[in-house]
A and B are shown apart, each in its own frame.
Chain A
Amino acid sequence: MKKTELLFLKEDVDIPYNWAAGRYGSLFLTRLRDEGKFIGNRCPSCGKVYLPPRVVCGPCFTPPEEIVELGDTGTLVSYSVVNYPFIDPETGSRRPIPYTLGYIRLDGCDTYLSHFVDETDPAKLTPGLRVKAVFRPREERTGRLQDVLHFKIVD
């Protein structure tokens, strides 16, 4: 039997969404945009401070209603120097590699924020380093997590 030529259908699906940030999400993002400040919320039941603020404390199933203002410094809990390409939704093109992803525990909160760290030299990275948020200039901020450009090491 003659070998069938195998065909493929290429499709790039654009999925339109207009995600509602809700009350807590909007509060977090507007304060980030307008004041360059991080807002978390505290669970009245277990005392845990969430950043970003959550609708509910999962283990307690209680809304963390108390708003807590946090500073822009914290501790690097984990990191990874990433070596594979990723299409940056900001630019629509590949982010240059390597780049570093980190988990940052901001001072005064109990959870970790994921963000970029402005250092790709493995010799200069270790858990426990002190880091500080670097914001975009006020006029470039649009109310998204990306209003924070990255965290830089301040040790």
Chain B
Amino acid sequence: MKEVGIIAWAHSEFSPRNEGMSRNELLYQVTKKVLEEAGMEIGQIDMVISASCDTVDGTSISNAYVVDEMGAYMKEESKVEEDGAYALAYAYYRLLTGQYNNCLVVSHGKISDSAPAFYTNMSCDPFLLRPLGLTGESAAALQARVYAHRFGATEEDFAAVAVKNRRLGSINPHTQLKSPVTLEEVLASPVVASPLRELTTAPVTDGAAAVIMATGEYARERGKDLVRVEGIGFSQDLYYPGNKDLSTSASAKAAAAMAYREAQVKDPLRELDFAEITEQHAFYELLLYEALGWCGPGEGRRLLAEGVTDREGEFPVNPSGGALCANPVMSAGLVRVVECCRQLTGTAEGYQLPKPVRRALAHACSGLFLQSNLAIILGI
């Protein structure tokens, strides 16, 4: 199969409320930054694939609004209404056709212009879920209880994820929350929706991210190192939460299986060196260890407690601090890809993993109750 990968990456600064910038300014800044990283001019870009959300942006077909800023003037441009990592998947398949040399993938979400609860409630069924006021937080809370009840996991287990990721984030100069927290602080933080607390839930983040994808030939011609895409998998579960098993994520399992098959990974824990996953809630991380095939059902907390997924462990997960340290809406998954690229190229300055790394998994998700999941295997 044709070699396709990533030659440049960038993301904006992350903040809970970027008052100084409009969404257009945010997007122009990140597009300029990724072009600079690649040493390219906008005229050299073959096509643009964007990711954004109409409800977050408050306009329908909201990509139309930011064409100028993402450099898509007179170019092929299409939008994915999912996390930017899904736009990367789309770009990957287009580049495999051999019809293009490269693609700019760019995602944005300026959630502070709206409100997270509004946008997650708007994604709910208007007959059955929306009138109950269900939002991202209460949906996750209901799922956390199902997971905890089935496996006997406790609030302490969830808190331990937050402690690990905030500690790892504290040495990542690029993230939003840079202070470590103790187990006591997490367990004393206010209850958002039981059993979720403020510190086991991702922060609100404005942000944008971008990568430039290219074929192997194009990267070599330009003398650019390529972070290869070795496999991609994604999958959708049922919509209505009452119709599926919430103690796991069948679509995360299916996505990982597809990515492993494509990348010929048989034993992910041995054949991959680390992972970056979108744990917008602390318990997601434990549930995803299991769904992504790194341990058996209910064993996520053991993997964490044994230090396997810590910075010095045999399989570090979220060495960047993950989404619990910065959760840019529509970009959190693409930022996982960026963080994998940094580690794989040895440019995670200040938080580079101590062991050599050559192969990683980046995970993204979309929808309430982890409805849709995506896994990408990256290698150098």
B242 (CB) vs chain A CBs: closest residue:
A112
Given contacts A86-B117, A112-B241, A114-B242, contact A80 B126 (CB under 8 A): no
A-B contact pairs, 28 of them (CB 8 A): A50-B243, A52-B127, A78-B143, A78-B146, A78-B246, A79-B145, A80-B144, A80-B193, A80-B194, A80-B195, A82-B137, A82-B141, A83-B190, A84-B192, A86-B121, A88-B133, A89-B131, A90-B131, A101-B132, A101-B142, A114-B128, A114-B129, A114-B134, A114-B142, A145-B127, A145-B128, A145-B132, A146-B131
B149 CB-CB contact with A under 8 Å = yes
> Quick one: which of B117, B130, B142, B193 contacts A103, CB cutoff 8 A?
B142
Task: Say whether A31 faces chain B, with CB atoms less than 8 Å apart.
Answer: no
Q: CB-defined interface of B127-163 with A at 8 Å, one 1/0 digit per residue?
A: 1111111110110011111100100000000000000
B221: A residues at CB distance < 8 A: none
**Residue from A79, A88, A111, A122 within 8 A of B242 (CB atoms):** A111
User: B145: nearest residue on chain A (CB-CB)?
Assistant: A78
Nearest CB in chain B to that of A87: its residue: B133
Distance in Å: Cβ of A26 to nearest Cβ of chain B: 10
Cβ–Cβ contact B20 & A80, under 8 A: no
Contact A145 B242 (CB under 8 A): no
Within residues 95 to 119 of chain A, which ones have a CB less than 8 A from any CB in chain B?
A: 95, 101-103, 111-116
Q: Given that A114-B242, A144-B131 are known contacts, is A79 also in contact with B58, CB under 8 Å in the complex?
A: no
Contacts of A116 in B (CB 8 A): 132
| Residue B73 interfacial (CB < 8 Å) | no
Chain B residues in contact with chain A, CB under 8 A? Answer: 19-20, 58, 117, 121, 126-135, 137-138, 141-146, 149, 190-196, 238, 240-243, 246
Give CA–CA (A112, B132) in the complex, Å.
14
Interface size class of A (residues with CB under 8 A): 35 or more
Give chain B residues whose Cβ lies under 8 Å from the Cβ of A51.
Answer: 242
Q: List 10 other contacts, CB 8 Å, given A17-B126, A80-B195, A111-B240.
A: A13-B58, A77-B146, A78-B142, A80-B194, A83-B191, A84-B137, A114-B241, A127-B145, A127-B146, A144-B127
Residue A16, interface by CB 8 Å: no
Chain B residues near A78: list those with CB within 8 A: 142-143, 145-146, 149, 246
